[in-house]
Amino acid sequence: MSTTPIPNRGIAVFSGGSAANNLVEVFDAVRDTKNCPLSYIIPISDNGGSSSELIRIFGGPGIGDVRSRLVRLIPDSPPNSERGAIKTLFNHRLSADAATAHAEWLSIVDGTSKIWHAITPAKKELIRSFFNLLNLEILKRARPPSSTFDFTSASVGNLFLTGARLFSGSFESAIYLLGSICGVSSDTVRVIPAINSNFSHHISASLANGSVIVGQNSISHPSEATALQPRPRRPSLLLADGADDFTDTDTSDTLSYEDDHPPGSLPTLRNKNIQFSKSENEDLPSRITRIWYINPYGQEIRPPANPRVLEAIRDSQAIIYSIGSLYTSIIPSLILRGVGQAIVTSPARHKILILNGSLDRETGPPSEPFTAVDFVEAITRAGEESRGRMTLSSSNYGGHRSIPGLGLPYSSYVTHILHLEGPGTPQVDRDRLAEMGIETLRLYGRKIVTTDAGGVETPIGMKYDATALVQALEVRFGQYLEKHSGEKRQKRELQEPLLVGGHNDGGDYSSDAAPGYLHTYVAAKDLRLLYFDGMSGMHRVKGTRDMQDRILFNDSIGREPSAPDDTQVDFDRAILECQLEDTEWEGRVDGFLRTQEVQEIILCYFERDLELTQVLRTKPQDELEPIRRDVKNMILTREPSRTAFDWKAITDKIISQYSSVLQDIAGGKFSPMHGLRLSMEQLLAPFIDYGDYYNITSTVERCREEFIPTSAPSNTLASKAVRHVTGQICSTLTSALLDFDLQLENVVNNVQELILYLEWTAFAHRRN
């Protein structure tokens, strides 16, 4: 009876928009290696850019990050192809000039824009139908001159998603439609909004100094200086509908108040946030301590997570917290009801934080920058808050503390951290993280620099190298060797019999590549190995490759003397070396030579540079059974009272006695024959019975027993072997002395044959 194969568990990635878009190829490569679905979990709290204008007029979720990821996932195609044209269309932004942007929008709606050039009529008219619907809704909501839709820098993809959402009444249906048009397979890659809703969901942030910031855009990259003065009011009614007093106010916006926002909307959420800078922002006066969701009146709410988010987490083999804004890209998804519990109980063995390569407004201020430990603390507290295991601090609204008696389960949320090291990167305290149950791995990256008006470059952070990051993730997932082997299935078949007890069919393993795990390799080419002189020959705090660490890694690799072992240090070093080889050095080095007690080689591409020549052969089960019986009989029949005998010491004496003289004879040192016989008589004199001088048999017998004590056992396999081999030596030498029919040439040939028979490596030893 056939059964449907169980699909591999997926990978869940918590991310925002633009930053994580740089890692799409990385995640896709890992997904391909693992042959599993990949789910992007993206928050909908963004209220900046063109999303802010859509929210102002239509309400609804912040769709910018979702649209950005969907379009980024469109497979690369030639620009003149239909798929390439669709990607260009949905990536397109209208002009920064309001009048030009409006005219450009109308040309897209009526189908006359050049941007439609390579799109077939069928798809063009399908897409245009949603643009026309949205345009009609925009006209219906317009209240000129005070309230009209601002097309400045509007994203065409955002406009399409909004039209599809208004038509279907479902945000997820709109996502599915856009993905289908773009050719993004929902079977392998899924873009899941953190909240499945047709309504806006905004967030607020509290700072350590008691201030509160409302709206994601104001938290992350405000379009104007953010007012951070705390107001003396109840937090649950924060800033609802403006000021509390009834002072005279400007009534010029009364006409626009009708439709562009619902009653109770916070003033800061009514602003247009179309223009802003992600690189130039004022620093926050103190750290962010907490993020929470608010309703239109400013009251805190705890919305549930999208059920598809919980499903993706519960069915994941790995959870990844991507790079991006910590408090506006990652935390808004983690604090949703159900997410924390799903992560803690997930079957995922790897919960990996890819640490940002630089600090931003959210992870400052510069006087108190976030460290890797702070990132883990924030993620863990958000997850625990989702589970209802955090309480609000009474002294500081927005702060939180754990329920008494409940510690923070850091490793339940983060098990590994991948990070960079360089100017502007968060500090990584490996010892503290190890105490928290978290492993760390430093990766190779590139510097990010800014150039001032004078042309002076200043490093401000680090950027991940895609190849290095893929390798690091695959190593953590245990897939690196399989992916980079052209014969991965063959390798598994070779190794499985001895690792797991043999193939299920118990078949015959008589081929040259018989099953086993002891492999013999030869270099497939001349290897280019880098060796640094001055390496340490013993374990040190900095490892065993002191000079290399100093030159390549600026002494940044190492452990404290109290650390348990150097295993992780050696692993990190090998990964970093191969990342340098593969990226900065353009593959011009194959590996690294390591000097310790012996010479060791770290080879970066094992399967490429080596050829398998021999595999430890194993016998089939039916031939192993007699061997097992022999082993059992040997053990059971051995006399327990008998002491062990050192046959190695005996053989060492025999080799020391005869190896040099045999080598001298074979090398032709003795000439003529008379000189050889004189030397042999001196060597064998203790064994010759001069009363029976020519009795070769007796001389050989005494020679053979010379080094074997009378207490030595005579009936063991070792005893018989030593006596037989010694007898061969004594017989050859005695014949050279007493057999007068032999000529010098015959004696030399006999000794050379004896040496080949013995194959003693000690024959290489010469006198002195």
SS3 463: strand
Mean of all residue pLDDT scores within the chain: 79
Least confidently predicted of 120-134, 237-251, 377-391: 237-251
pLDDT band at 415 (very low <50, low <70, confident <90, very high): very high
From CA 641, how far away is CA 629, in angstroms rounded? 23
pLDDT band at 757 (very low <50, low <70, confident <90, very high): confident
Identify whether residues 79 and 202 lie together within a single domain: no
Across the chain, which distance is largest between two alpha carbons, in Å?
142
Predicted confidence at residue 163, as pLDDT, reads 97
Q: What's the token pair of residue 11?
A: 């990978």
Predicted confidence at residue 620, as pLDDT, reads 63
In a domain, 622, yes or no: no
Higher pLDDT: 345 or 665? It is: 345
Question: What average pLDDT does the segment 466-491 reach?
Answer: 62
Question: What average pLDDT does the segment 374-392 reach?
Answer: 90
Contact between 428 and 440 under an 8 Å Cβ cutoff? The reply is yes
Identify whether residues 365 and 279 lie together within a single domain: yes
From CA 569, how far away is CA 559, in angstroms rounded? 7
Q: Which of 313, 287, 169, 307 is nearest to 219 (CA)?
A: 287
Domain membership of residue 120 as a residue range: 74-183
pLDDT band at 508 (very low <50, low <70, confident <90, very high): very low
Identify whether residues 416 and 267 lie together within a single domain: yes
Identify whether residues 282 and 302 lie together within a single domain: yes
From CA 67, how far away is CA 74, in angstroms rounded? 11
Identify whether residues 415 and 542 lie together within a single domain: no
In a domain, 143, yes or no: yes
Least confidently predicted of 21-35, 39-53, 287-301, 591-605: 591-605
| pLDDT winner (highest mean) among 29-33, 550-554, 606-610, 654-658 | 29-33
Identify whether residues 200 and 277 lie together within a single domain: yes
pLDDT band at 249 (very low <50, low <70, confident <90, very high): very low
| pLDDT winner (highest mean) among 91-105, 222-236, 266-280, 587-601 | 91-105
| Cα R_g (the chain), whole angstroms | 39
Higher pLDDT: 138 or 554? It is: 138
pLDDT band at 399 (very low <50, low <70, confident <90, very high): low
From CA 594, how far away is CA 529, in angstroms rounded? 10
Each residue's pLDDT tens digit, 334-365: 999 999 999 999 999 899 999 999 999 999 88
Predicted confidence at residue 498, as pLDDT, reads 31
Identify whether residues 293 and 439 lie together within a single domain: yes
Each residue's pLDDT tens digit, 177-230: 999 999 998 889 999 999 999 999 999 999 999 999 998 888 987 655 444 444
pLDDT band at 611 (very low <50, low <70, confident <90, very high): confident
Predicted confidence at residue 651, as pLDDT, reads 84
Predicted confidence at residue 741, as pLDDT, reads 73
Map 657-720 to HEC letters: HHHHHHHHHHCCCCCCHHHHHHHHHHHHHHHCCHHHCCCHHHHHHHHHHCCCCCCCCCCCHHHH
Least confidently predicted of 22-26, 480-484, 743-747: 480-484
In a domain, 29, yes or no: yes
Q: What's the token pair of residue 618?
A: 């194993």
Residue 762, pLDDT above cutoff 50: no
Percent of the chain with pLDDT over 70: 74
From CA 134, how far away is CA 127, in angstroms rounded? 11
Which DSSP symbol is given to 316?
Answer: E
pLDDT band at 597 (very low <50, low <70, confident <90, very high): low
Identify whether residues 318 and 464 lie together within a single domain: yes
From CA 651, how far away is CA 636, in angstroms rounded? 27
For tokens 């063991």, name the residue. 716
Predicted confidence at residue 243, as pLDDT, reads 43
Predicted confidence at residue 584, as pLDDT, reads 78
Each residue's pLDDT tens digit, 122-157: 999 999 999 999 999 999 999 888 788 999 999 999
Identify whether residues 505 and 435 lie together within a single domain: no
Residue 234, pLDDT above cutoff 50: no
In a domain, 221, yes or no: yes
Least confidently predicted of 160-174, 223-237, 318-332, 730-744: 223-237
Predicted confidence at residue 436, as pLDDT, reads 93
Predicted confidence at residue 664, as pLDDT, reads 84
Predicted confidence at residue 736, as pLDDT, reads 82
Q: In one letter, which amino acid is 98?
A: A
From CA 377, how far away is CA 380, in angstroms rounded? 5
Count: domains in the chain: 4
Residue 161, pLDDT above cutoff 70: yes
Tell me which of 592, 615, 638 is where a domain ends: 615
Residue 767, pLDDT above cutoff 50: no
Rounded to the nearest 5°, which phi and psi values hold at 545? -125, 65
Higher pLDDT: 472 or 715? It is: 472
Predicted confidence at residue 760, as pLDDT, reads 54
| pLDDT winner (highest mean) among 318-332, 455-469, 614-628, 735-749 | 318-332
Each residue's pLDDT tens digit, 491-502: 333 333 333 333
In a domain, 237, yes or no: no
pLDDT band at 406 (very low <50, low <70, confident <90, very high): low
Contact between 19 and 321 under an 8 Å Cβ cutoff? The reply is no
Predicted confidence at residue 248, as pLDDT, reads 44
Each residue's pLDDT tens digit, 257-275: 455 455 546 666 666 655 5
Higher pLDDT: 242 or 342? It is: 342
Q: What's the token pair of residue 162?
A: 């909004």
Which parts of 452-528 are beta strand (E)? 457-464, 519-523
Residue 63, pLDDT above cutoff 90: yes
In a domain, 501, yes or no: yes
From CA 228, how far away is CA 361, in angstroms rounded? 14
Which element (helix H / strand E) includes 724?
helix 717-738
Identify whether residues 421 and 544 lie together within a single domain: no
Predicted confidence at residue 176, as pLDDT, reads 95
What is the CATH number for 478? 3.40.50
In a domain, 87, yes or no: yes
Tell me which of 467, 482, 497 is where a domain ends: 482
Residue 722 φ/ψ region, left for φ over 0, alpha for ψ in the -120 to 50 degree band, beta for the rest: alpha
Higher pLDDT: 598 or 233? It is: 598
Cα dihedral value 377, 383, 385, 390, nearest 10: -50
In a domain, 255, yes or no: no
Predicted confidence at residue 493, as pLDDT, reads 37
Tell me which of 434, 466, 482 is where a domain ends: 482
Identify whether residues 378 and 352 lie together within a single domain: yes
Identify whether residues 463 and 489 lie together within a single domain: no
